[in-house]
Structures are given as C-alpha cells and as structure tokens.
C-alpha cells in the first residue's frame, strides 16, 4: 500500500503517538540559554532574507486596472483574464437577426434562469450575473447554473455592488439591454436580515444604474419590482394608478424605493426604464422560501403546514402567476423597450419610463392551493390554521393587467392547477433520491 509521506506522519502524531517531553522545566531553560547566540544569528539571517525578498521581488499581481490580463478577487471569487473574457463574449453573442444582447442579473435565481434560457433559445446574446448568496439552498442555484451552461449561458459569479466588475462587463460587451432580476427577495426574512434588502435592492440597484448611465451606448433596463408595493391597499384589483405609499414590509419598501430611484435615473440621465410588478410567481425550479414550494416539501414529509387566515376567518389569497407567463411578459418588455437617450451620463432627450403589473388576474385562496397540492401529491396535508401575523405578508393580491395587455400583449394563460402539475412533476424528479441528476 502506498503511503502519503508527510501527511501520514502528521496523522500519526495527531493520532496519539506524540510523546511529550518529560524533562523537567529547568533543563529546557538551560538548553535555551546555551543556544542563544545561534538563535540570534539565525533570526538575523531570516530577517535579512525577508527584507531582500520584499525589496527585490516584483509585485506578485498587477495593480487592479481593468486590463484583459487582470484577475479580480472578491470573497474568493475571481473574474477577469483572457479566458474569462472569451466566455463572457461568447455567451453574449447575438445569434439571430435583430437579436438583443442582454445582461441578466440574478440569472441563477428562479425567474432569472427561466428568462435567460428563453432569451438564449430565441437567439439573443445572454450573459448572467449572480452572487449565489445563501438566502436559500445554493445547491439549487448551482443546478440552475449547470442548466444555463448547457444552453450556452455563462453566469458570472459576482455582485451588483461591484462597480469594477459591472464596468468590465460593459467594456467587454456593449449590452443593448439589462434584465435586472437580482434582489433580496422574500417578505419575512427582512425581520431577520434587514440590511441584505438595502444592500441588494437599494445600494446594488443604484450601483447598477450608475454604471448603466455612464456607459456608451446606455442600455435599456427592464427590472423586477413587486406586487408588494401595493402594501395595505384594499382596493382590488390593484392597478398601476393605485397608491403605493403604504408598504407592509421592508422588502416592499425597498421595491418602492427602487421605483422612485428608477424614475430619478430616467429623469436625470435619460435611461429607458421599465419596472415589472410580479405577482407571486411559481413553477419548476422555483424558490424554496415560497409557500407552494415548502408546502409540497412538508406535505410529502408528513409535516404539519400552517395556513394563515385574515380577521374573522377571512381567506388569504394570492394572484399566483405561472413562470412561463412571467417570462413572456419579461421578453415583451425587453422587445418594446425604447432606447435610452443619454450619453456620457447626460440626458439628451426624454426617455421611456414604464411600470406594469404582471399577474394572473385570478386570486386563489391559500386553502385551495393546498387542496390542489394534496390531489397532485396524493397525500393529505396536516393543517394548522393561524391568524396572519403582521410580519409583512398582506392578505390579498389581485392584479389588474389591462395596461400590460395593451402595451406588451401580455396574456397569462396557465391556471394554477395546470401550473402546479408542472411544478410537482419537476419537484418529484429533482428531489428523487434515486435519480440524482434526472434534470
């Protein structure tokens, strides 16, 4: 049997063969005194060597200029270099006539991965960007990345707060469009980690807009707002004209802030900006923090699920929107986006500014969602009903989509039962322990 030389030795010491020096302490002290001149000489030689090394050796890495050869490292993540640039270029290469060249932020996320694949399939150039944060299972994000790799979409591991990286990406590819989906999502998590919302949804968005405003040509930007901006609105269905100044969660407040910030960059810098207010998106490759996803997991495990209800036993309902409908809405928003008008950071004329609801226009009580899942999973759920806590969730969402229908040709076509069937099919395949790589 071959041995692993020094590793074996270390192992044998730590495994208990190390014998402590049993000599009395004074003997050690004597030894120390007798070797003092030798020790001083060696220390001097060692310090001289260190000095010569630092004085004469060239810097180990070049200064952080955005040259092709430079590699940058952020939290052990490196970007840059000739090979990296080739991958970026190849991923963003447009393969159809009049195709777009799109930077998709949050590409390893639920919506981002679907949108990226759809764009790539129709011949647009697509480059993904995602920081693979651990808000939920990073394994799922990595699996989506593998899927994207297979269709030729490279997802750069990086943060929208990294201005050097963003500038570098625009240096390498003059993106015509940005599909901005990176964000800290989820309503309840804001109680635990409020600063993550500010970092991604406010600071990160501003950083992205700063870079977009200064590049030439400026891209057109489509980005994800949220139905949560309607907050405590009780007038339904929610229309884009309704008030959005009473958010019920920090998440909603950051999305509302995003809409105001977007308006500023449109007004001052001529950036073309379209905000999409998504309503509870669900489907295959979805988000584990969302009810339809964790209900499925818990029902299958035989674990009790909690269903919330409003005051006086009124139902909590959501306008569940299937991912394919959302993807069609996103693509249509990109296709109809007008060019930005700014140049060199300055506005040259009025630029397009739009906000659309992308929902399904048919709110479904959460109890009904559970009964569809029970039917599809062929398992009875163990339910507990509790009053809706005031931690950010609202009781009801319902989209008025007339504007999106008129301007984007948006027409959601998948009902909840059909969509959940597709989700459950994916879930059972993806999490089937026997078929690890079935997807």
Given candidates 159, 240, 259, 319, which one binds ligand NAD under the rule CB under 6 A? Answer: 159
Contact 135, 289 (CB under 8 A): yes
281 binds ligand NAD (CB under 6 A): yes
Q: Which stretch binds ligand NAD (CB under 6 A): 2-10, 33-41, 108-116, 399-407?
A: 108-116
184 binds ligand NAD (CB under 6 A): yes
Q: Specify the residue, 104 or 347, whose C-beta has the smaller distance to ligand NAD.
A: 104
What residue spans of 122-186 are helical by DSSP H? Answer: 138-150, 163-172
Given candidates 238, 278, 396, 427, which one binds ligand NAD under the rule CB under 6 A? Answer: 278
How far is residue 238's CA from residue 34's CA, in Å, rounded to a whole number? 87
How far is residue 428's CA from residue 424's CA, in Å, rounded to a whole number? 6
How far is residue 268's CA from residue 339's CA, in Å, rounded to a whole number? 15
204 binds ligand NAD (CB under 6 A): yes
Least Å from the CB of residue 157 to ligand NAD? 9
| Of the candidates 288, 280, 218, the residue with the CA atom closest to the CA atom of residue 431 | 288
Q: Tell me which of 251, 292, 322, 410 is the catalytic residue.
A: 251
109 binds ligand NAD (CB under 6 A): yes
Q: Specify the residue, 227 or 341, whose C-beta has the smaller distance to ligand NAD.
A: 227
Given candidates 72, 120, 287, 328, which one binds ligand NAD under the rule CB under 6 A? Answer: 287
Chain Cα centroid distance, residue 416: 25
Per-residue interface string for the shown chain with ligand NAD, residues 224-253, x marking contact by CB under 6 A: x-x---------------------------
Quick check: is 251 catalytic?
Answer: yes
Tokens at 38, concatenated: 């030798």
Give the start-end residues of each E strand in 167-219: 177-180
End-to-end distance of the chain based on CA atoms, in angstroms? 40
Q: Specify the residue, 184 or 218, whose C-beta has the smaller distance to ligand NAD.
A: 184
Contact 273, 265 (CB under 8 A): yes
Given candidates 108, 262, 305, 334, which one binds ligand NAD under the rule CB under 6 A? Answer: 108
Given candidates 80, 112, 219, 237, which one binds ligand NAD under the rule CB under 6 A? Answer: 112
What 3-state DSSP class applies to 345?
Answer: coil
Contact 356, 223 (CB under 8 A): no
209 binds ligand NAD (CB under 6 A): no
Classify the C-alpha dihedral 46-52-55-57 as positive or negative: negative
Q: Specify the residue, 341 or 394, whose C-beta has the smaller distance to ligand NAD.
A: 394
394 binds ligand NAD (CB under 6 A): no
How far is residue 251's CA from residue 393's CA, in Å, rounded to a whole number? 10
Q: Specify the residue, 145 or 347, whose C-beta has the smaller distance to ligand NAD.
A: 145
Q: Specify the residue, 132 or 430, whose C-beta has the smaller distance to ligand NAD.
A: 132
Chain Cα centroid distance, residue 314: 34
Active-site residue list: 251
Q: What are the residues binding ligand NAD (CB under 6 A)?
A: 105-106, 108-112, 130-133, 141, 159-161, 181-185, 200, 204, 224, 226, 278, 280-281, 287
């Amino acid at each position: 049997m071959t041995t692993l030389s020094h590793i074996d030795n270390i192992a044998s010491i730590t495994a208990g063969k190390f014998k402590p020096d049993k000599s009395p302490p004074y003997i050690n002290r004597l030894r120390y005194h007798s070797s003092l001149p030798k020790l001083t000489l060696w220390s001097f030689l060692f310090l001289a060597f260190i000095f010569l090394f630092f004085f004469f050796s060239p810097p180990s890495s070049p200064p952080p200029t955005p040259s092709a050869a430079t590699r940058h490292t952020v939290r052990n993540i490196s970007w840059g270099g000739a090979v990296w640039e080739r991958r970026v270029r190849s991923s963003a290469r447009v393969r159809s006539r009049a195709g777009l060249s799109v930077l998709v932020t949050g590409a390893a996320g639920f919506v981002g991965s679907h949108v990226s694949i759809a764009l790539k399939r129709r011949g647009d150039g697509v480059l993904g960007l995602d920081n693979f944060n651990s808000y939920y299972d990073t394994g799922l994000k990595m699996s989506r990345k593998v899927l994207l790799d297979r269709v030729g979409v490279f997802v750069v591991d990086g943060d929208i707060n990294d201005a050097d990286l963003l500038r570098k990406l625009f240096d390498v590819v003059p993106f015509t469009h940005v599909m901005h989906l990176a964000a800290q999502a989820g309503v309840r998590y804001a109680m635990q980690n409020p600063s993550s919302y500010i970092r991604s949804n406010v600071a990160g968005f501003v950083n992205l807009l700063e870079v977009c405003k200064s590049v030439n040509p400026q891209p057109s930007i489509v980005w994800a707002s949220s139905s949560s901006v309607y907050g405590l609105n009780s007038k339904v269905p929610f229309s884009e004209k309704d008030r959005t100044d009473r958010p019920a969660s920090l998440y909603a407040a950051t999305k509302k802030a995003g809409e105001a910030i977007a308006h500023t960059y449109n007004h001052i810098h001529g950036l073309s900006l379209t905000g999409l207010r998504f309503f509870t998106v669900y489907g295959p490759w979805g988000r584990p923090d969302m009810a339809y996803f964790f209900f499925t997991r818990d029902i299958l495990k035989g674990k009790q699920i909690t269903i919330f209800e409003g005051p006086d036993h009124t139902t909590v309902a959501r306008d569940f929107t299937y991912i394919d409908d959302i993807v069609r809405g996103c693509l249509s928003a990109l296709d109809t986006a007008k060019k930005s008008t700014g140049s060199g950071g300055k506005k040259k004329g009025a630029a397009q500014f739009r906000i659309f609801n992308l929902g399904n226009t048919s709110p479904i009580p959460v109890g009904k969602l559970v009964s569809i899942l029970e039917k599809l999973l062929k398992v009875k759920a163990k339910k507990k009903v509790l009053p809706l806590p005031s931690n950010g969730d609202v009781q009801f969402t319902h989209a008025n989509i007339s504007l999106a229908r008129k301007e984007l040709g948006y027409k959601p076509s998948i009902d909840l039962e059909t969509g959940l069937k597709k989700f459950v099919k994916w879930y059972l395949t993806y999490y089937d322990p026997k078929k690890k790589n079935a997807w």
